[in-house]
């Protein structure tokens, strides 16, 4: 089990750039729902969360048969692995560590295709197709936009990979946990005719990771396999009751959009100006940066003296101790980070 998920050190107040959560924070509507849920806490949640599932189906314009709810996205990564028990899994790296762990637990052979850092980890279609032909995986795993690189691959660019996988009848697992921020097109259209499963997290965009709420949209056959072995009552009443308030909070969604457009650009321009740091273009709410003359631990420690916490990336396959990941936060926090980072990297 890795140790991430934010700062858990001894300092009382830290600006935490290590977790990729919407900095606007929890909306009042959701707070109200949670307080009201205290009246329901003495009952079991709906065993399959059907009411919440129907709301998400409407929101996603998908049929409930294409949907499955999760106790956070994490439950669904592990459930997918257990439901498919693939012999060979090919993971496009660097990416979120839990995929590898989930498939290892069910005994899959793990193959990794590492994107080139010289090319800022852009998806290298040729390299992936070569790997598919050689390995003949049962499942291909990738994250889009990708954590921690922030890179997004369009369906058009991905299409040759789908065709290569078609030949071996392989399934595709796509984590779109960060796509809401980007506003870019989902791979959803694939679910009708391809063995595709798409993972979504609601807690990052709506800033409620403590509540645990995710869902998957997928090909019906895959959803059926997952539902057949899913554990009962995995979602708590707070998460289930909040779904409606989350997806209908137009004001929150609008404010998030405005924040994202302004702050992501500001952050990118600011990071670009910092010496001894190479920032990678991102399509979502965080930036992967390479330190040119320092180690990530060294900089993390220096900056923590100023009560700012950043994510080092040595635990990601294909990265090393020179990478850091920075979430985009609100301006008042971002303006504190930039000079600190600049100063730390100057020494």
Closer residue to its own copies (CB): 6 or 185: 6
Q: Quick check: 9 binds its own copies (CB under 8 A)?
A: no
Name the minimum Å distance from CB 199 to its own copies.
Answer: 14
Name the minimum Å distance from CB 109 to its own copies.
Answer: 17
- Tell me if 81 sits within 8 A of 108, measured CB to CB: yes
Name the minimum Å distance from CB 47 to its own copies.
Answer: 5
Name the minimum Å distance from CB 239 to its own copies.
Answer: 7
Which residues within the stretch 25-64 sit at the binding site for its own copies (CB under 8 A)? 25-26, 31, 34-35, 37-38, 40-48
H/E segment holding residue 16: strand 15-16
Of 133, 143, 101, the closest CA to residue 1 belongs to 101
H/E segment holding residue 179: helix 179-182
Stretch that binds its own copies, among 67-75, 116-124, 273-281, 286-294 (CB under 8 A): 67-75
List, edge to edge, every strand of the sheet that includes 311-312: 277-279, 286-291, 323-327, 311-312
Q: What string marks each residue from 196 to 235 as x (binds its own copies by CB under 8 A) or -?
A: -----------xxxxxx--------------x-xxxxxx-
For the chain, state the CA radius of gyration: 20
Which residues within the stretch 72-91 sit at the binding site for its own copies (CB under 8 A)? 72, 74-75, 78, 82
| Residue 140 to residue 53: CA distance in whole angstroms | 26
Whether the bond into 145 is cis, omega within 30 of 0: yes
Name the minimum Å distance from CB 147 to its own copies.
Answer: 14
Task: Give whole-number Cα distances, 242 to 27, 68, 177, 211, in Å.
Answer: 11, 16, 18, 9
Positions that interact with its own copies (CB under 8 A): 1-6, 8, 16, 19, 21, 25-26, 31, 34-35, 37-38, 40-48, 71-72, 74-75, 78, 82, 98, 102, 105, 207-212, 227, 229-234, 236-239
């Amino acid at each position: 089990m890795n140790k991430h998920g934010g700062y858990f050190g001894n300092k009382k107040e830290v600006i935490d750039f290590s977790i990729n959560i919407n900095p606007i924070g929890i909306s009042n509507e959701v707070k109200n729902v949670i307080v009201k849920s205290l009246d329901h806490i003495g009952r079991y949640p709906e065993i399959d969360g059907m009411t919440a599932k129907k709301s998400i189906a409407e929101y996603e314009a998908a049929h409930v048969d294409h949907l499955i709810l999760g106790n956070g996205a994490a439950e669904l990564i592990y459930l997918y692995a257990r439901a498919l028990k693939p012999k060979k899994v090919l993971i496009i790296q660097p990416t979120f560590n839990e995929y590898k762990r989930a498939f290892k637990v069910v005994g899959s052979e793990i193959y990794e295709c590492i994107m080139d850092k010289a090319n800022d980890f852009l998806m290298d279609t040729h390299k992936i197709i070569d790997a598919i032909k050689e390995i003949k995986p049962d499942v291909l795993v990738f994250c889009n936009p990708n954590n921690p690189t922030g890179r997004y691959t369009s369906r058009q660019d991905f299409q040759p990979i789908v065709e290569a996988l078609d030949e071996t009848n392989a399934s595709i697992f796509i984590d779109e946990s960060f796509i809401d921020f980007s506003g870019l097109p989902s791979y959803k259209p694939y679910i009708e005719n391809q063995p595709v499963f798409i993972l979504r997290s609601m807690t990052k965009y709506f800033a409620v990771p403590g509540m645990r709420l995710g869902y998957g949209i997928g090909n019906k056959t895959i959803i059926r396999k997952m539902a057949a072995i899913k554990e009962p009552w995995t979602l708590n009443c707070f998460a289930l009751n909040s779904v409606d308030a989350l997806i209908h909070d137009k004001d929150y969604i609008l404010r998030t959009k405005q924040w994202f457009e302004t702050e992501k650009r500001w952050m990118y321009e600011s990071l670009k100006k910092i010496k001894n740091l190479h920032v990678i273009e991102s399509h979502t709410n965080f930036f992967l940066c390479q330190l040119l003359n320092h180690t990530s631990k060294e900089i993390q420690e220096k900056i923590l003296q100023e009560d700012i916490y950043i994510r080092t990336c040595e635990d990601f396959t294909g990265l090393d101790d020179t990478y850091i990941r920075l979430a985009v936060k609100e301006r008042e926090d971002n303006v504190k980070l930039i000079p600190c980072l600049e100063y730390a990297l100057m020494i």
